[in-house]
Structure 1
């Protein structure tokens, strides 16, 4: 009687949060790489604002802005591009929810926090790419930002985008397959946050209640930071407060998003 021969099994590789995050990040970037024109489509709105609203702003409020209108307005448009682009990313997760892809991802060995963080980090790529295109387009029209300030602004917007994108994913998980509810909340929050940031017009002459509400709007500090950095004041307190606002938004978004991702498996 011969003894049974046991075939040794290969041990499963140890899971790593960074490795799982990289896997999710690469997966999320593949559709962007296959369809780069989707990034260009997202530039339609900011370029329309620059082409139509910019000249009106220069003619009506140019003196009140105290300097180069483009150095004041272009950083705001970059922040607008970030806000619009990352606040809708939860709709992609809703597609995964409706098609069953999200449930299949949850049963993989990938850690659930990594699944959220990988998705959130993906937002940095379109933000930097679209912002770079806007800057290149505006150079022939007289935009002359401080190079270091422009670079720091792009990085700051990327950090902000991670937070906004994570909150968008958390919203998608909260409403699940109710697509209409996602868009109702997104639109209801988006435009007040944008208008109360002083993005389109200065808030200094606005009513007191509007100035008070804008004081707790993180986007306002990011917009002001971009304007100061573009003007070369990269070491100013305004830029520092912009980084604080971006980092707080990113931290809050990741905490809320990771918690929603973990609970989505229940």
Structure 2
């Protein structure tokens, strides 16, 4: 791409991002309601982890709160659920015809995808920050710089998941059941195999092996390493690699689908 094309792409991406953020700010209650599920998980599921995590040599065994292990998983869950819903918003626009009106503008199609994918970082950042701060009075040790790094890492990962969800939404045009079928079929196995809610050490060997083929596993491990207050960890490095690969693949698939969809 030449300089003019790059500038137009950046400008169009910024315009789409700002538009999506403004729509988000007009409905702040969606952020409040989206926090209910993770807060319920923390309130009801977190106390059950004391024995399970401690028995595996986790935070309890090290003399810290089980929230130090559980909160990063909940924040990753927020990211996964939120960004995987990007395609559902697109399905609504396809049904109402508003997506076709967007395509009729001079905006670059790739910029539409990238701008919307980047928008997912804003609510994710706010939600993750609120969850982490809310858990401090209950024993969660907050490391501000590490939390920021973890949220940025999730932002990169979320862009990739959001782009894939966007591409799935385009492929499911007129067949909404396809989107929900694929999304739900993939979402929950990934959630379980990542060890997000429970330590995988408690599961059979085949689950532990299968988990190593999921990028989400490395994201969860990186978030937990960062939550413990360390940057110099192999888990963090592998998490960065997993997030970057997910973003690259997601954007490549999403941009290709966007350009070939009328």
2 CA distance for matches of 1:205 and 1:56?
14
Q: How does 1:6-45 map to 2 (within 5 A)?
A: 16-45=8-37
Alignment of 1:246-265 (within 5 A): 246-265=243-262
Partner of 2:188: 191
Evaluate the alpha carbon distance shift between residue 83 and residue 141 of structure 1 in structure 2; reply closer, same or farther with a 3 A threshold.
Answer: same
Asked if 1:50 is matched to 2:42, the reply is yes
| Alignment partners' CA distance in 2, 1:149 and 1:119 | 26
CA RMSD of aligned residues (A): 1.4
State the Cα distance separating 1:235 from its structure 2 match: 1.6
Q: 1:120-170 CA distances to partner (integer Å, 9 max, x unpaired)?
A: 000000110110110121111111132221111111111111111111101
Alignment length, in residue pairs? 253
TM-score (norm 1): 0.91
2:132 is matched with which residue?
A: 135
1:178 paired with 2:170, answer: no
**Cα distance, 1:206 vs structure 2:** 2.0
Cα distance in structure 2, aligned partners of 1:139 and 1:205: 27
Measured in 1, the distance between the counterparts of 2:250 and 2:218 equals 17
Larger-Rg structure:
1
Q: Distance in 2 between matches of 1:110 and 1:61?
A: 50
C-alpha distance in 2, partners of 1:55/1:207?
24
Gaps (5+ residues) in structure 2?
none
- Structure 1 regions of 5+ residues with no counterpart? 1-12
> Deviation string for 1:154-200 (max 9, x for gaps)?
11111111111111101000111212221111111000000000111
Between the aligned partners of 1:39 and 1:78, the Cα distance in structure 2 is: 14
Q: Which residue of 2 aligns with 1:6?
A: none
1:60: how far off? 4.0
Q: Distance in 2 between matches of 1:136 and 1:173?
A: 37
TM-score normalised by length of structure 2:
0.93
1:62 aligns with 2:49: no
Please give the per-residue CA displacement for 1:68-89, whole angstroms capped at 9, x wherever unaligned.
3111110000000100111112
> Which residue pairs with 2:158 in the alignment?
161
Contact 2:133 2:142 (C-alpha < 8 Å) held by counterparts: no
CA distance in 1, matches of 2:177, 2:123: 25
Q: Is 1:125–2:122 an aligned residue pair?
A: yes
Please give the alpha-carbon distance, in whole angstroms, between the structure 2 residues aligned to 1:181 and 1:116: 20
* Superposition misfits of 4+ residues, deviation over 3 angstroms: none
Given the alignment, which residue of 231, 238, 243 partners 1:241? 238
Residues in 2 aligned to 1:235 and 1:40: alpha-carbon distance in whole angstroms: 35
Distance 2:136 2:188 in 1: 28
